[in-house]
Chains A and B, each alone.
Chain A
Amino acid sequence: MSPPPTASALREQQAYVAAQAADARVNVELDTGDMTLNIGPQHPATHGTLRIACQLDGEQVISAEPLMGYMHRGYEKLCEVRTYPQCTTLINRIDWLGSFANEVPFILAAEQLMGVEAPPRAQWIRTILFELSRIANVSLFLGDMGVQVGALTPVFFAFRDRERVLNQIEEVTGGRFHPNFDRIGGLKDDIPRGWIAETHAVMAKMRGFCDEMEDLLMGNEIFQTRCRSVGVIPGDVALSYGLSGANLRASGVDWDLRRDANPGLAWDQVDWRVWTHPDGDSFARYWVRLQETREATKIVDQLLDGIPSGPIMAKVPRIIKVPAGEAYVSTENPLGEMGYYVVSKGGLGPFRVKIRTPSFSNISVVPWVMRGTYVPDIITILGSLYFILGDIDR
């Protein structure tokens, strides 16, 4: 693979935008005013209540500014008046498609402060559930991206196959969307009998789903025409905007917290690789996510075969009091880096929780990347950046 596009690509894009704008100026004989188009808050492409205020010249975007807060729930404040176990109920609802993965960094941060470490079996099952929620989350993206560019069918396949993964999560945790299963010091329960074999079968199905998406959508010429060179984010821009997850890796930056800052889960026990793509466009983001879904099924398969025996709960007091201190733990969630900065003053609940959500940073690049694109590209770019509204607004 060629090196990641950096400043030169950035200059190229800016030159392109300038040329387009100059063309537009020359071609306009009558002076037409710009049109303000509000995409959202109720718009199918924002899958939630995000509003993007666009200045349009014809179909060309002059500026685009995301306006959020329609779903702001104030979790950081609410966490301050809850006990640690109660916080996970809220945290489940930040990225509602990958709920279990949300709980993990918060629990890990609390464990770090308490000096508790979950037993290996719990760590492995955590990692498995973490990767299962990644598959459930990202597989929906793989189908939904089709809808964003106008193909109706892939999303139904995604819903169909995601159901299998949700069933597996439900069998362990009892919850499909909001498991609330992670505990400080381990897990609420062990996995049920027969679950390992079932999950192996589901993982094989999900690999089939990935192949299907590759055939049906990613290999499609129209899809490629719509996505290639659309919304190019060079690596240095991505870093400076704090993009994370597949969005960053699609810009050629080899960075994955699962590998680079593993906070103690079982990723270093199995064989997998981090995929990057040098292009930084919408297609690269789709490609990276597709590869990552495949990789996640492999991780789960390997982890399932090697779950150590032992207890699933460390010895922790019944009433959890966290010693004073500060801790920041972040993990590579389905959407990107999800981190919790937990400040404890030694009480039953956190003194302050800063929730670093991936979508917030990922969407902050929108004003930069949207300039000079066309109206349909807004949807493509938004879709490929892949945000969950609860993850932006918290």
Chain B
Amino acid sequence: MTDLLGLAYWAETSIKLGVALIVIPTAALMLGYLFLLKMMAFMQSRLGPQDVGPYGTLQLIADAVKFLQKEDIHPAAADRRVFRAAPVVVLASSFLLFVVLPTGPDAVVENLDTGIFYAMAVSSLSVLGVLMAGWASANKYALLGGLRAAGQLIAYELPLILAVMGVVIQADSLNLQQIVRAQAEGEIFGFGLIGNPFILTQFVGFLIFMIAAQAELTQTPFDMPVAETELVGGFHVEYTGFRFLLFFMAEVATAFAFSALATVMFLGGWWIPGFDFDAPVLNVLGPVVMLVKILLVAFIIFWIRFTYPRLREDQLQKFAWKVLIPLSLANIVVTGIFKVVL
């Protein structure tokens, strides 16, 4: 599949890289504008940004320019090197996530055989960055935020991975393209027109994945590491200017990436019913389908974020260990039994 356009490896790679570099900031801007600015405003009976560009569409670009103009401040007691590296680590984690996301039969940066394993691994990196930021800021609020993030890591990373396991068992593969193919070629009681999106068979897994993703993204109700009203921003309390911008971009871009992961694993990915799985036209239509589905999932993520209060750290731990993990283990067992029996 790699010789679609008959290009050399380096040329193809640079095209993919260029596209990814355009797609990621655009995705972050789109989500930020649509959900963080406009949807939140409408839900809260406000109008949101109005003045910058038509309907305020350029507001985030104006914000980015503003951030870039700001002074780069380090707290006096901060560990400078770690302090500077932290936002880069967080942003790198979300960039790396985009590597394996398939948006068409050939439209994928790198079709890794262990794609889902890789995605889970790099997504956990962001916590490292958060912990670095919390520690290096030499601020008590930031430290508490960083420690909460680390405590949260264990609580939600386990259900996240266990929820994915159900999909992996059903699709027989860790490869994200194979997971899409398994959904495209699946059948619901012999009815194969729309394939078999795993949300139907893995609904419990989908719910657990979405809940855990909410925690991974530090979105309400699991935004204790940030917790504006308690920790005044938590780990990024000391960050200004473009370093804060990096955190912000990473937050939104990761939300986009996780919506994409959920789409690929549970909503049938880029495949369109009625098309041949390898049809080249899907390289163009696939991304559009993906985008629509991603926006749908992201809508849910942000909807919950604007609506729900925040849990307490110990309550999250209780919820994760007493509810999510047993539930996801049960899900794996049931999936395994069905896999063997059917």
User: Which one of B140, B141, B232, B313 contacts A376 once the chains associate, using CB atoms below 8 Å?
Assistant: B313
Q: Is A147 positioned at the interface, with any CB of B under 8 Å from its CB?
A: yes
Determine the residue in chain B with the shortest Cβ distance to A152: B306
Interface residues on A, range: 20 to 34
Is B44 touching A156 in the complex (CB atoms < 8 A)?
yes
Contact of B315 with A by CB under 8 A: yes
Query: Is there an interface contact between B314 and A374, defined as CB atoms closer than 8 Å?
Result: yes
Q: Answer yes or no: A146 CB below 8 A from chain B CBs.
A: yes
A268 to B328, CA, bound (A): 59
Bound-state CA distance A217–B227 (Å) is 18
Contact, CB under 8 Å: A59 / B315: no
Q: How far is the CA of A45 from the CA of B229 in the complex (A)?
A: 5
Chain A residue at minimal CB-CB distance from B313: A59
CB contact under 8 A between A374 and B308, given known A150-B227, A156-B45: no
Q: Whole-angstrom distance between the alpha carbons of A150 and B304 in the complex?
A: 12
Which residues of A have CB within 8 Å of B224?
376
Of B40, B221, B314, most buried by chain A (CB within 10 Å of CB) is: B221
**Are A226 and B140 in contact (CB-based, < 8 A)?**
no
Residue in B closest to A45 when the chains form the complex, CB atoms: B229
Check if B14 is an interface residue, CB within 8 A of chain A: no
CB of B84 within 8 A of chain A? no
State whether the Cβ of A220 lies closer than 8 Å to any Cβ in chain B.
Answer: yes
Known interface pairs A226-B312, A376-B313; A151-B307 also in contact (CB < 8 Å): yes
Within 8 A of A (CB), among B295-342: 306-315
The yes or no answer to A301 lying at the interface (CB within 8 A) is: no
Q: Give B197-226 as 1s and 0s: 1 = Cβ < 8 Å from A's Cβ atoms.
A: 000000000000000000000001101100
A274 at the interface (CB under 8 A from B): no
Q: Are B309 and A146 in contact, CB atoms less than 8 angstroms apart?
A: yes
Most chain B Cβ neighbours within 10 Å, of A44, A146, A216, A222: A222
Residue pair A150, B223 in contact (C-beta under 8 Å): yes
Specify which chain A residues have a CB less than 8 angstroms from the CB of B220 in the assembled complex: 150-152
CB neighbours (8 Å) of B223 from chain A are: 150
**Given A223-B309, A226-B312; A148-B144 close (CB under 8 Å):** no
B140 contacts which chain A residues (CB < 8 A)? 35, 37
Contact among B45, B314, B315 with A157 in the assembled complex (CB-CB below 8 Å):
B45
- Is there contact, CB below 8 Å, between B309 and A151? yes
Q: Out of A59, A220, A377, name the residue touching B309 (CB < 8 Å).
A: A220
- CB of B55, distance to nearest CB on chain A (Å): 20
Residue in A146, A150, A151 whose Cβ sees the most chain B Cβ within 10 Å: A150
Given contacts A150-B227, A152-B220, A376-B224, contact A43 B232 (CB under 8 A): yes
Closest Cβ neighbor of A161 among chain B residues: B45
Contact string against B for A residues 152-191, beta-carbon threshold 8 Å, 1 for contact and 0 otherwise: 1100110010000000000000000000000000000000
Q: Across the interface, do B43 and A45 meet the contact criterion of CB distance under 8 Å?
A: no
**Is B187 located at the chain interface by the 8 A CB criterion?**
no
State which size class the interface on B falls in: 20 to 34
Contact residues, B230-246 vs A (CB, 8 A): 230-232
Of all chain A residues, the one with the shortest Cβ separation from B40 is A152
A379 to B232, CA, bound (A): 12
CB distance from A63 to the nearest CB of B (A): 16
Which among B306, B309, B313 is the interface contact of A222 at CB below 8 angstroms? B309
Chain A minimum-CB-distance residue to B143: A35
Q: Mark B128-159, 1 if CB is under 8 A from A, else 0.
A: 00000000000011001000100000000000
Q: Is A149 interfacial (CB 8 A cutoff)?
A: yes
**Residues B309 and A375 in contact, CB atoms below 8 Å apart:** no
Q: Given contacts A153-B306, A226-B312, is CB(A148)–CB(B44) below 8 Å? A: no
Within 8 A of B (CB), among A44-60: 44-45, 59
Contact indicator B45/A225 (Cβ below 8 Å): no
A160 lies within 8 A of B312 (CB): no
Report the separation of the CA atoms of residues A44 and B231 in the bound assembly, to the nearest whole angstrom: 9
The residue that A216 contacts in the complex, of B45, B307, B310, with Cβ under 8 A, is B307
Q: In the complex, are the beta carbons of B229 and A220 less than 8 A apart?
A: no
Interface contact A148-B45, CB-CB below 8 Å: no
Contacts of B231 in A (CB 8 A): 375
| Contact string against A for B residues 38-75, beta-carbon threshold 8 Å, 1 for contact and 0 otherwise | 00100111100000000000000000000000000000
A147–B308 alpha-carbon span in the complex (Å): 10
| Chain A residues, CB < 8 A from B312 | 225-226, 374, 376-377
Q: Is B172 an interface residue (CB 8 A)?
A: no
A120 and B312 CA atoms in complex are apart in Å by 51
Asked if residues B230 and A45 are in contact (CB atoms below 8 Å), the reply is yes
A157 to B227, CA, bound (A): 21
Which 10 A-B residue pairs are closest in the complex by CB-CB distance? A150-B310, A156-B44, A151-B309, A149-B309, A150-B309, A376-B312, A222-B309, A223-B309, A45-B229, A379-B230
* Given contact pairs A148-B229, A151-B308, A156-B46, a sample of 10 additional A-B residue pairs in the complex whose CB atoms are under 8 Å apart: A43-B232, A59-B148, A149-B310, A151-B310, A152-B306, A153-B307, A226-B309, A226-B311, A376-B312, A379-B229
Q: List 27 A-B contacts (CB under 8 A).
A: A35-B140, A43-B232, A44-B228, A148-B229, A149-B310, A150-B220, A150-B221, A150-B223, A150-B228, A150-B310, A151-B220, A152-B44, A153-B307, A157-B44, A216-B307, A217-B309, A222-B221, A222-B308, A225-B315, A226-B309, A226-B312, A375-B144, A375-B230, A376-B224, A377-B312, A378-B230, A379-B229
